[in-house]
Amino acid sequence: MSWSRMHTLIAGLGLLALTNAVALVGVAYNRAGEEAKLRLTQRELSMPYEWQRNRDNSGLALGLVWRVPPEEPADAHYDGWRYGTGGEPGWLDKAKMEALGFDTTVVAYSDRSRSRYEKQLPREVLLVLEFDGPAYRRSLELARQSLERAETKLVSRPGDRELVGRVKTAREGLEQETRRSSRLFAVDAGLELEALRAKYPDRSRYAVVRGLVRPAGVDERTWKVGGYVRGLSIESINVPFGLRDVLGRIAEISDVEQRDKVPYEATVAFGKRLEPWIVEAVRK
């Protein structure tokens, strides 16, 4: 091996060692203090899509399954249970977007003003995730109301095939919301951790994480400016080797409708850097 190649190899190995050391220091610092700790289930933790596409990967990771609070349904057919991660929550309005640093100074609707607003780059902010709280209870109540309204209409119009379908969908929605849908909701955002913690002090129900928000929700008729929660900055959580016996079976299930087939509870902690890790897990 030539002298120059040897130097290159040594430099490469040194850089790799330094990178790993920095990563380990970051992990240690994050876990030096618990900012929050949530007791989640298979409803709130699932195999990330990217991992499912690469099943040759010997590692195992789970992603947080979260939603945004549903708005009032426009009619009797509520399908809020279908929401996936991300969305345009009502609380992310013009005032909130301005507080997050976005330029909302548009005075009249036009294609140009809409384009100007929506072309602003996404920003990383602090997101508040609420577990099994008012947002979930509201979503559950909307699903119940949807079923009640559909059943009431069917009584007055028995045999109506469209209404029969609506009742079936609403009943499935309530079942989904009750047994399978995630109870983890993004309910607020801000720039200062202290201010958010003062507003949401319960660390067993509210976790603060980093996530991305972008402009959206421009309504031509009412010129309503809002935002879209695009995702979390950290999308997956590595499963410790010692917990793979408990959580490993989830890797075999890609259909979210089957999450309840492998019930478990897992304690997820969020550290000083607001990064999550799995502390323990047990089968139910």
Range ranked top by mean pLDDT from 24-28, 175-179, 261-265: 175-179
Q: What is the pLDDT of residue 162?
A: 86
Residue 36 sits at φ, ψ, to 5 deg, of: -160, 160
pLDDT band of 78, cuts 50, 70, 90: very low
Average pLDDT on 226-231 reads: 92
Rounded to whole angstroms, how far apart are CA atoms 168 and 177? 14
Average pLDDT on 74-91 reads: 60
C-beta separation of 264 from 246 below 8 A: yes
Q: Where are the alpha helices (DSSP H) in the chain?
A: 3-30, 49-52, 94-99, 111-118, 134-156, 161-179, 193-199, 244-247
* Residue 170, SS3 per DSSP: helix
Residue 151, CB-side half-sphere exposure with 13 Å CA sphere: 9
Radius of gyration (C-alpha) of the chain in whole angstroms: 23
**pLDDT surpassing 70 at residue 94:** yes
Residue 182 sits at φ, ψ, to 5 deg, of: -65, 145
Model pTM? 0.83
| pLDDT tens figures, 101-115 | 999 887 677 778 888
pLDDT band of 185, cuts 50, 70, 90: very high
Rounded to whole angstroms, how far apart are CA atoms 263 and 282? 9
| pLDDT tens figures, 50-73 | 544 454 455 688 889 999 987 765
**Mean pLDDT rounded to a whole number for the chain:** 81
C-beta separation of 183 from 65 below 8 A: no
**pLDDT surpassing 70 at residue 5:** no
DSSP element (H, E) containing 129? strand 123-131
**pLDDT surpassing 50 at residue 76:** no
Q: What percent of the chain has pLDDT over 90?
A: 43
Q: In what order do the strands lie in the sheet containing 224-232?
A: 184-190, 123-131, 206-219, 224-232
C-beta separation of 139 from 70 below 8 A: yes
C-beta separation of 98 from 160 below 8 A: no
| 138-168 burial code (b ≥16 CB/10 A, e <16) | ebbebbbbbbebbeeebeeeeeeeebeebbe
Q: In the chain, how long is the greatest CA-to-CA distance?
A: 89
Q: What percent of the chain has pLDDT over 70?
A: 74
Residue 118 sits at φ, ψ, to 5 deg, of: -75, -15
pLDDT band of 82, cuts 50, 70, 90: very low
pLDDT band of 267, cuts 50, 70, 90: very high
Domain ranges of the chain: 1-30, 35-71+85-132+182-283
Q: What is the pLDDT of residue 252?
A: 60
Does residue 13 or residue 153 have the better pLDDT? Answer: 153
